[in-house]
Amino acid sequence: MIFKRELKRNFKSLMIWSVVLSGLILLTLSIYPQFAEQQNEMNKLLEAYPEPMKKALGMNELSLGDLMGFYGIEIYMMTTLLGSIYVAILASNILAKEENEKTIEFLLSKPVTRNRIVTEKLLAVFVNILIFNGVITIISMIGFQFADDPEVPAGIFSLLIVATILLHLTFAAVAFMLSSMLKKTRSILSISLGIVLAAYFMNVMAGISEDLEILKYFSPFKYVDAAQIIRDHQLEPLYMFIMAAVIFISLFVSFMVYRKKDMAV
């Protein structure tokens, strides 16, 4: 009951975000052939970029004239950043809104436990993330057909998709935990979006300045760096472990806190 209701309530926002991001992906991939044809000119233009800027954007290791390089520089940034913003909005509202909308007392009057509420709402978040990333994957594969030679390295592309899902799950888990701890959806949303944007900013700063390189260890965006994945053909095990730990701890805290939370509204 709760799971189906949450899927229905969040369907509109899922469709809007999916359509907007799909349009951006297709539009961006449609200009790839021009970049591939003018690769020499583009390389000369990029030489004028400051080295720290190229490093921050992954242009020092990836080429805009290569399909996967172009995807890693142009598309991957959109799917990771915009996707993280979407899941943060989704997860930060899903628990706290019951208290804000004064529906929690009615919900708890039904034969449902708090653990069931958290479980079904969490499952709804998980399904939305899978659908969202499924759309990204399909649209990207369609967009690859714009290339003259649309042969895509399946292994690398799969790793980039898995990395994106793990990143989204990490931010969703943190936002979900905040939703279980706090009551005001505006506060939760502000904090959740602040965490996403701060993490992205730290990733950029770590790439620009060697003195700030330590910041990369505090940014999940660095854990799923496209240049590293495409270069090494693998996800860094340590980074994956850290993200998995953050997800597990956040969800564990969510269950523990919500079970004891004062629901007076």
Checking if the pLDDT of 228 tops 60, the result is yes
Tokens of 126: 């998980």
Q: Is 147 exposed, middle or buried (0-12, 13-18, 19+ CB in 10 A)?
A: middle
Q: What's the CA gap between 85 and 82, in Å, rounded?
A: 5
pLDDT in tens, 191-218: 999 999 999 998 888 777 777 778 878 8
pLDDT of residue 113: 82
Please report which confidence band the pLDDT of residue 53 belongs to, taking 50, 70 and 90 as the band edges: low
Domain hosting 136: range is 2-260
- For 59, residues 6+ apart whose C-beta sits below 8 A from its C-beta are 46, 49, 53, 73
Domain-embedded: residue 24: yes
Our count of domains for the chain comes to: 1
pLDDT in tens, 133-153: 999 999 999 999 887 666 788
Please report which confidence band the pLDDT of residue 158 belongs to, taking 50, 70 and 90 as the band edges: very high
Please give the single-letter amino acid code of residue 153: P
Please give the single-letter amino acid code of residue 253: V
Checking if the pLDDT of 184 tops 80, the result is no
pLDDT of residue 164: 97
pLDDT in tens, 19-30: 999 999 999 998
Q: Is the pTM of this model over 0.85?
A: yes
Domain-embedded: residue 74: yes
Domain-embedded: residue 42: yes
Domain-embedded: residue 265: no
Q: What's the CA gap between 61 and 227, in Å, rounded?
A: 6
62 or 154, greater pLDDT: 154
Q: What's the CA gap between 213 and 168, in Å, rounded?
A: 23
Checking if the pLDDT of 109 tops 80, the result is no
